[in-house]
Amino acid sequence: MSLRYVIKEGFSGFKRARLSAFSSITAITLAVVLLAILARVSYNAYHLAQAIKSDVQVEVFLQDVDQSRINALRASFLEHEVVQDVEFISKERAMEIFRAEFGPGSEVLGSVNFLPASFRITTKTDVPVSSIVLFVDEISTYVGVEEVKFNQRGLEILEERLQLFVFGGILAGLIIGLTALVLVFNTIRLTIYAKRDLIKAMKLVGATNSFIRRPFLVEGILHGIVASMIATGFIWLFFHVFIPYYVPQAGILSWPFGRWYFLTGAMVTIAIFMGLIGSRWASSKFINRTSIS
């Protein structure tokens, strides 16, 4: 009987405060949609930045050293924690690359090979730029190393922009979520105010605050469920219909963790969580204040 009453009263909140319920559901829907779009864009931006970092290489140009020194340098590079891979470019290979890149005009050099041997070092994508800079400073002092080239500024800009994007995304997400919670809070508060006489009567007959609070929690959860269904449909239309039609280039955006249902599951969870927390916040605050006198 108690469970039946709680569920019945939770659904009745939609009828008593339709406009408020509509505002609450709309707020949660917009919040979840914006968070989902932000999450998918952020996920792809992060992986794009990681792909760019994986293409950045440290070039180590060598002096005229023998093979044993080359082998020792290669072994030293591979032992370092920031290094993913090391490729040796001999003088002959360097000339082949030069001729392939500069085309027919390169034959004027004849058989002259002025290019030094070098190493191309690929660093790990998850290491910060500061660690790569320390690595470059270290290997610059190795015996047999003539010069080290590394696009430090480019990587620093990339890392700064990525951090700014992540920070801005988190801040925007918090603002969106807080706004939705406030609207749910106000909706449940209006519902409680409309039922204040009934709440007083229930307290007079011995009902506890937790029992009185349960229907409002159910109402908040229902707001979240309805909002999640609307948001899921909107996201599907946005990414499968609107974006491919108007911005075909954006069709390459991948889903977080490679599957659509991870993001959808997160949307449903967040929507229900917003409805529950907002309703719990309001009911705890105002039911305790409702006096039976």
Q: Which domains does the chain show, CATH number per domain?
A: 2-50+158-287 (no CATH), 57-150 (3.30.70.3040)
Q: Are 13 and 191 in contact (CB under 8 A)?
A: yes
Tell whether the model's pLDDT for residue 79 goes beyond 60.
Answer: yes
pLDDT digits (tens, 9 = 90+) for 14-70: 666 677 777 778 888 888 888 888 888 888 877 777 777 766 788 888 888 888 988
pTM: 0.65
Distance separating alpha carbons of residues 221 and 17, to the nearest angstrom: 16
Q: What is the mean pLDDT of residues 197-221?
A: 78
What pLDDT shows up at residue 108? Answer: 46
pLDDT above 70 as % of the chain: 83
Sign of CA dihedral 39, 43, 44, 46: positive
What pLDDT shows up at residue 101? Answer: 65
Q: Parallel, antiparallel, or unpaired for β 57-62 and 145-149?
A: antiparallel
Question: 193 φ, ψ to 5°?
Answer: -65, -40
Report the chain's terminal Cα–Cα distance, integer Å: 28
- Of the listed ranges 75-79, 168-172, 198-202, the least confidently predicted one is 198-202
Please return the burial class of 130, using the count of CB atoms within 10 Å of its CB with bins 0-12, 13-18 and 19+: exposed
SS3 122: strand
The mean pLDDT of the chain is 78
The token pair that represents 234 in the structure block: 């909107």
Query: Which residues, other chains included, contact 27 with Cβ-Cβ below 8 Å and sequence gap of 6+?
Result: 179, 180, 183, 184
What size, in residues, is the chain?
293
What pLDDT shows up at residue 43? Answer: 83
Tell whether the model's pLDDT for residue 292 goes beyond 60.
Answer: no
Tell whether the model's pLDDT for residue 110 goes beyond 50.
Answer: no
**Neighbouring-strand partners of residue 145:** 62
Element (H, E) at 62: strand 57-62
Taking Cα atoms as reference points, which of 177, 189, 145 lies closest to residue 38? 177
pLDDT digits (tens, 9 = 90+) for 223-240: 888 889 998 888 888 877
The token pair that represents 104 in the structure block: 């027919």
